[in-house]
Amino acid sequence: MSRIEQQFDFIREIDKEKLIERQTYISSGERKENDSEHAWHLAMMTILLSEYSNEQIDVLRTVTMVLLHDIVEIDAGDTYAYDDTAALDKREREQTAADRIFALLPDDQAVKLRGIWEEYEARETPEAKFAHTMDNIQPAMLNDATDGRAWEEHGVHLHQIMKRNERTGEGSHVLWDYALNNFILPNVKKGKIIDD
């Protein structure tokens, strides 16, 4: 295959991300968002909110990271944040998916994009930390916008949310504090999140 054919194979393949339904409802509450909508939303949030990063970040690299972070779910499926059973083999499923999906690209781009995906997973660079902050506060924002609907449907407890977000502030203390005080705690008060 030529380079351009490999690139278009990858581009066609990642279109399948539009079919991966998440558990978070869109802000109107009409339906649940899909992975591609989630990635787009995180990219826009990164552009708009990068000024609140704890450290200076390369915004384009972070945008690339959030656009890539869930493409492995084409094969691995979306693992709901509070599904402990599905989380047990999540890493293995996603690594296998990454092996297949990134291999569709020309070697140089496969190495580069797989590297950015691995950087996100490792959560060590300022970009990866901020990308995780975006990935964690976006569903909280949408859950709040839908009056805690998904939290209530799944019987989510405050301790689960706090555990999932124990490192969210590493990317942005300002945004984590904002999300906690404006999206999460008001829903505890309303009974949409079960208080421990």
Supply the pLDDT for residue 85.
87
Q: Find the helix or strand (DSSP H, E) in which 5 lies.
A: helix 3-14
pLDDT digit string, tens, across residues 1-46: 899 999 999 999 999 999 999 999 999 999 999 999 999 999 999 9
Q: Residues 66-88: pLDDT tens digits? A: 999 999 999 999 988 888 888 88
Give the C-alpha distances (Å, rounded to integers) separating 12 from 4, 17, 193.
Answer: 12, 10, 39
121-159 pLDDT, tens digit each = 999 999 999 999 999 999 999 999 999 999 999 999 999
Q: What is the pTM of this model?
A: 0.96
Token output for 22:
């998440």
Ramachandran assignment for 29, one of left (phi > 0), alpha (psi -120 to 50 degrees), beta (any other): left
C-alpha to C-alpha distance for 163 and 160, rounded to whole angstroms? 5
Torsion of the alpha carbons at 72, 75, 79 and 85, rounded to the nearest 10 = -130
